[in-house]
Amino acid sequence: MKKNIIAIDLGSNSVRFLKMNCETKERVGEFTKTVRTADGLATTGRIGKGALQRIVFAIKEAQEIIDFSDARVKAVTTEAIRQASNGQEILDEIEKETGVKFDIINGVDEAKYALKAAQNRLELLGQRPKSFMLVDIGGGSTELIFHYGGEKSFSKSFKVGIVTVTQRFKSIPAIAEAMPVLMNPLRQYYNEVLAQHGAVEVFIATAGTPTTIAAMKQGMEYTTYDANKIHGTILTQKDLVNQLTVLLSMSDEERIKAVGVGREDLIVSGVLIYDELYNMSGFNESVVIDDGIREGVAFDACSSC
């Protein structure tokens, strides 16, 4: 059995690669690329040829940067492929072009991997909250995960994501107006869980929007982004308002420099979703971590070997 694992998470906006040594848990390679998997999905119900080409190119680029020869590969994909009527066709073509076979995981597994990654990072940060809410704001969906210690966890996936919302409503005012209604199912689930199991101590946020806002707060740009400086960052609701104001005042070129190509038109939707999570939960701050599904997949694969 090879001691290294390469975990790949193909999301609705990005594809993320992590190579880990299972014996030492050392990260020995990583790569991320914006591929906009869900581009056009909201209107066509399909993954387009352009997205397929971007995904294939990104995987081939990763294969040049990271040594795949001494590692097992565990590749998963989430909401965009789940929703797309041609999802399996796309995955078959990706495997034909790159040799990488993806498994479509459901919202339960998505939450399981995100939780595993968050628990590991909290341990490394020396933080041991008795309970927490973990939110994963993705391109095609948002996951709410509640953890009350031990094996007591509850989760649900909602079809509210930064790519699909952006493409469905087109303008920022339209997105802002629709957001409270879009988030009603999340609000109801939040209230149901707390009514049955009690309040949680900490709000933890992961995925591109929280990490981007945390980076902006620390003065980083896309090219100077450092995940190690993001883990544990505290973001208040006021921080969101402040950074959204900054983003809206930027030119297109400045916004691309700040958040990266292919993300500049999506980040506002992400901030509006994030802001509504503060409103519905009553928290005034959240802890941001960069680790997500790919880290959870890597830890899970290592523990099973």
Query: Do 51 and 139 belong together in one domain?
Result: no
Q: pLDDT, tens digit, for every residue of 153-173? A: 899 989 888 888 888 887 888
Query: Do 36 and 76 belong together in one domain?
Result: yes
Query: Do 49 and 79 belong together in one domain?
Result: yes
Q: What is the pLDDT of residue 261?
A: 64
Enclosing domain of residue 154: 108-293
Query: Do 278 and 177 belong together in one domain?
Result: yes
Residues of the chain with pLDDT under 70: 1, 261-265, 305
Q: What is the pLDDT of residue 20?
A: 94
Q: pLDDT, tens digit, for every residue of 72-101? A: 999 999 888 998 999 999 999 999 999 999
Query: Do 273 and 287 belong together in one domain?
Result: yes
Query: Do 270 and 153 belong together in one domain?
Result: yes
Mean pLDDT, the chain, as a whole number?
Answer: 90
Give the per-residue SS3 of the chain.
CCCEEEEEEECCCEEEEEEEECCCCEEEEEEEEECCCCCCHHHHCCCCHHHHHHHHHHHHHHHHHCCCCCEEEEEEECHHHHHCCCHHHHHHHHHHHHCCCEEECCHHHHHHHHHHHHHHHHHHHCCCCCCEEEEEECCCCEEEEEECCCCCEEEEEECCCHHHHHHHHCCHHHHHHHHHHHCHHHHHHHHHHHHHHCCCCEEEEECHHHHHHHHHHCCCCHHHCCHHHHCCEEEEHHHHHHHHHHHHHCCHHHHHHHHCCCCCCCHHHHHHHHHHHHHHHCCCEEEECCCCHHHHHHHHHHHCC
Q: What is the pLDDT of residue 262?
A: 58
Q: What is the pLDDT of residue 264?
A: 62
CATH number for the domain harbouring residue 143:
3.30.420.150
Query: Do 71 and 31 belong together in one domain?
Result: yes
Query: Do 198 and 242 belong together in one domain?
Result: yes
Q: What is the pLDDT of residue 257?
A: 82
CATH number for the domain harbouring residue 86:
3.30.420.40
Query: Do 102 and 189 belong together in one domain?
Result: no
Query: Do 48 and 163 belong together in one domain?
Result: no
Query: Do 114 and 153 belong together in one domain?
Result: yes
The tally of domains found in the chain comes to: 2
Q: What is the pLDDT of residue 268?
A: 84
Query: Do 130 and 271 belong together in one domain?
Result: yes
